[in-house]
Structure 1
Amino acid sequence: MRYLEITVPEGKRRSVLDILEDEGVDYVVSDETSGRGYTAVVRFPIPTQAVEPLLDRLKRAGIGDEASVVVIDAETVVSERFATLRDQYSRGGQTGARTSRQVLRTKADELTPPFPIYAIMLLISAVVATAGLLADSPAVVIGAMVIAPLLGPALAANVGIVTGDGRLKSTGFTYQLVGVAMVVVASIGLATLARLAGLEPAGVDIVVATELEERVAPNLFSLAVALGAGIAGILSLTRGFSEAIVGVMIAAALIPPSAAVGITVAWGMSGAAIGAAVLVIVNLLSINLAALATLWVAGYRPQGLFEASPTRTPTYTYAAIFGIGLLVLAAPLASVTLLEFHTTELESAAEDEVNAVLAEPRYDELESEDVAIELDGDYPVQSVDRVVVTVTGLESGPEPGLADRLYEEIRPHTDEPLVVEVQYVVAEQRGDDADRRNGNEPLDWP
């Protein structure tokens, strides 16, 4: 429920009261004597879903920006006329109980902090995220997501598009682009300092050693977080759900990948940096496309029928830009996804083939310890480099012909060039097995 207070300009008092009477609103009117060009102040409770159509009707009647409108949350209203009005506007069920367009603009604007605060919070988030990724600490990375103020800009841009608010749209897109750029630059600086300080693991791939791997080689499932964040963000704004949790979800789609771009640039890994940058751009497009589509489906439009057509064109234009960009950039993500499917299938087939070969009598002394698929590390779209088979046995040294035999069995399961590498681990001899191997039988003691 909402409680509205409208300061009526001179000459508009009768028009306002006629509309309220026609709507069945239970109002109170008082004279306005400040001498500032107003004639009355009208106060009345109204169902939440009735705010937007009532204000639209007042606008069409000539009650424009010169009137002052205040919308306040109302806890309880005891009135028969209000109950009738509430029933009238709840015919469509709870689906109609959405935030009015006018309140939506205000809430989106309030969620976008002043730029100095926004920049400071993002810089802190970038430092924390970079440190968390380098330290391979999921808890620290989550902390960076919590403090990143990215919800407001993502929602403001799309609210501005569908409601025809150019200022809100411009602010939202500017904050998003500048914010991501700030995180990348800050991460490059911090990662460069970390590398110069000797924190780079000697001889170890920094991507494999930290939490970077899933960010530099993203797959199609990465889209789920961003799309869900965009939809949840709009629902939180229009239905009154918790914005804080949704803000963390949006930050999860943008902050770690942006920090990953900075780290990989500082380490001179151009392919990995491209992969992380693609994920950042894809997530930005996904969040905005999902938010824009959700707003449009929810029925948010500019004021009046005559303004619907001019805003429909830019809405479709932005949706097309987001969608086409997403489809183009989704191609490498699809390649990574197919590679992961292929790698999983190849690993399963290789395990079956290794077990079948080692089950032969000539390999009774050997057991399969592990079968792993290694990729070539050519980020972001990698390929299978080799199959590493680890076997255990009582004898040290390689088994003649085993690697060739395994290669012949595994090779038909992939079309790519393949190397099969066999690693041997000597099992420790203990107890009865060691005695029997040395020709000694254990003694039975009474």
Structure 2
Amino acid sequence: MALRLIECVAPADAEEHILEIVRKYSVVAQWSRQLADGRREVQILVDARETESILDELESYYAAGPDFRVLLTPVEATVPRPDKPEPNDEPSGEEEPAPPPDRISREELYTQAESGVGAGRSYYLTVLLSSLVAAIGLVRSDTAVIIGAMVIAPLLGPNMALALATTLGDEKLARKAFVANVSGLGFAVLVSLAFGSFILLIGHDPTASESVLARASVGYADVILALASGCAGALAFTKNASGTLVGVMVAVALLPPAVSAVLLFVGGEFRLAGQAVLLFVTNVIGVNLSAVCTFLLSGIRPRTWWEADRARRASRRAITAWILLLIILVAILSLD
């Protein structure tokens, strides 16, 4: 059972109400202590699936207060091992909480997504390294090196963040994710262009590799693969399962098709370059469409009703746009 430690700092007179709120949930353990400034710190050890509901209730009552703060910490292990907590069966006049979702909390998802869209020096360094590794692996037809570039996968995080931002109707996160996607892709294209021009200058044909040519072909199976992999990636993201995400990175790689398109363009194979671009677009559409749908089906919603209404409109627009793009893509494939 995955556990989370909720540390709540609040005015002393709020402690009893906080304990009353968490009493409805399956609490493994709880502690409290007096702080030097007179406030109380309440620590609650709970099932990770129930943190979102608890945090929402605490935020609705105390978020506006200047003396209130909540910290959420993943718990790797605890001794003694906790038994599965029994829900509180005492009758109360309040509505019973809904069954917890089988995922980590919205706040944890948001923090993960936001950390993946920081278009800083380390992000561009990762894009640089991934582009170079992909280009070298593609030119040498070295599968192991190509997989290494896939696992680095700097563009997967911004795409997942974009899907989450769409689901929550969060314009700020959506802008950050969009900028990270466009700037990262643009930088990868420049790196690939420089690498392709260099190897062409020294007399090596960048289009002679089978691995490059293999990414100049796209079919209906690639569309299904992109949709299935995007769904798997979103599920892994909601469960904080980084091991599963590695498989998704390999299955629906974004950079190798983009790098292949640039190498083919440098080599004068413009039609094949267009096919590689089509494969890249297929993967982007599949990841975003299936990720938004998966987040919605996982019950990820904003906390307040007015935010939820805005998020529903954003999700509808995004799903409609991605489906239209997918229809156009399928139409292009049928013409080929």
Alignment TM class, shorter chain as reference = 0.7 to 0.9
- Asked if residue 44 in structure 1 is aligned to residue 44 in structure 2, the reply is yes
Please state how far the C-alpha of 1:40 moved relative to its aligned partner: 1.6
Describe the shift of the 1:30–1:281 C-alpha distance in structure 2 as closer, same or farther (beyond 3 A). same
In the alignment, the residues of structure 2 paired with residue 73 and residue 167 of structure 1 have an alpha-carbon distance, to the nearest angstrom, of 26
- How does 1:421-436 map onto structure 2 within 5 Å? none
1:27 aligned to which of 27, 30, 36: 30
Change (3 A) 1:80 1:249: closer
- 1:257/1:150 CA distance change after superposition, 3 Å: same
Q: Give the C-alpha shift of residue 87 in structure 1.
A: 10
Tell me how far apart the structure 2 counterparts of residues 62 and 90 of structure 1 sit (CA, whole Å). 19
| Cα distance between partner residues in 2 of 1:118 and 1:178 | 10
Superposition CA RMSD, Å: 3.1
Alignment match of 2:107 (pick from 102, 105, 127): 102
Residues 54-99 of structure 1, C-alpha deviations (whole Å, 9 max, x = no match): 111222224348532112233347699971139999996xx83311
Amino acid paired to 2:86: T
| TM-score (normalizing by structure 2) | 0.85
Contact map agreement 2:258 2:276 (CA 8 A) in 1: yes
Counterpart position of 1:187? 192
Q: Which amino acid aligns with 1:72?
A: T
Q: Does 1:255 align with 2:255?
A: yes
Q: Radius of gyration: which is bigger?
A: 1
Question: Where do residues 40-189 of structure 1 align in structure 2 (5 Å cutoff)?
Answer: 40-64=40-64, 66=66, 67-74=68-75, 75-76=77-78, 83-85=85-87, 96-112=101-117, 115-189=120-194
Matches within 5 A, 1:25-424: 25=27, 26-34=29-37, 39-64=39-64, 66=66, 67-74=68-75, 75-76=77-78, 83-85=85-87, 96-112=101-117, 115-200=120-205, 206=207, 209-243=209-243, 245-246=246-247, 248-249=249-250, 252-335=252-335, 381=336
Contact 1:186 1:262 in 2 (8 A): no
SS in 1 for 2:33: strand
CA distance in 2, matches of 1:190, 1:5: 51
- CA contact 1:47–1:86 (8 Å) conserved in 2: no
The count of residues paired between Structure 1 and Structure 2 equals 325
For CA contacts below 8 A with separation 6 or more, give which structure has more relative contact order.
2
Residue pair 2:161, 2:173 contacting (<8 A) in 1 also:
yes
Task: Look up the equivalent residue of 1:253 and give its one-letter code.
Answer: A
User: How far off is 1:324 after superposition?
Assistant: 0.9
Percent identity over the alignment?
Answer: 26
**Alpha-carbon contact 2:24-2:87 (below 8 Å) kept:** no
- For residues 212-252 of structure 1, the C-alpha deviation after alignment (integer angstroms, 9 at most, x for no partner) is 233223112112332233212221122232345146336x5
Instruction: Identify the range of structure 1 (142-151 vs 305-314) with the bigger mean alpha-carbon deviation.
Output: 142-151
| Contact in 2 for aligned 1:192/1:266 (Cα 8 Å) | yes
Q: Distance in 2 between matches of 1:79 and 1:198?
A: 64
Deviations 1:350-407 (A, max 9, x none): xxxxxxxxxxxxxxxxxxxxxxxxxxxxxxx4xxxxxxxxxxxxxxxxxxxxxxxxxx
CA 1:146–1:80: 2 relative to 1, 3 Å = closer
Distance 1:65 1:129 in 2: 51
Question: 1: distance between equivalents of 2:87 and 2:113?
Answer: 28
Distance 1:127 1:151 in 2: 17
- Aligned AA (1:255): L
Inter-partner Cα distance in structure 1 for 2:80 and 2:308: 37
2 CA distance for matches of 1:6 and 1:211? 54
Q: Is the 1:101–1:163 contact (alpha carbons within 8 Å) kept by the matching residues of 2?
A: no
CA separation of 1:235 and 1:80: change in aligned 2, threshold 3 A: closer
Structure 1, 231-240 or 48-57: larger mean CA deviation? 231-240
1:47 and 1:85 in contact (8 A); partners too: no
Partners of 2:10 and 2:69 within 8 A in 1: yes
Instruction: Return closer, same or farther for 1:139/1:27 CA change in 2, 3 Å cut-off.
Output: closer
Mark the CA change 1:86 to 1:248 in structure 2 (over 3 Å): closer, same or farther.
Answer: farther
Q: Which runs of 5+ in 1 are unaligned?
A: 336-380, 382-446
In structure 1, C-alpha distance between the alignment counterparts of 2:112 and 2:205, rounded to whole Å: 45
Alpha-carbon shift at residue 121 of structure 1 (Å): 1.5
Q: Aligned partner of 1:302: which letter? A: P
Counterparts in 2 of 1:192 and 1:79: CA distance versus 1, 3 Å = closer
C-alpha distance in structure 2 between counterparts of 1:110 and 1:100, whole Å: 16
Cα deviation for residue 173 of structure 1 reads 2.2
Query: What runs of 5+ residues in structure 2 fail to find an aligned partner?
Result: 91-95
Counterparts in 2 of 1:164 and 1:40: CA distance versus 1, 3 Å:
farther
Equivalent position amino acid for 1:17 in 2: L
Say which SS state the counterpart of residue 153 (structure 1) adopts.
helix
Choose 180-189 or 317-326, whichever is displaced more.
Answer: 180-189
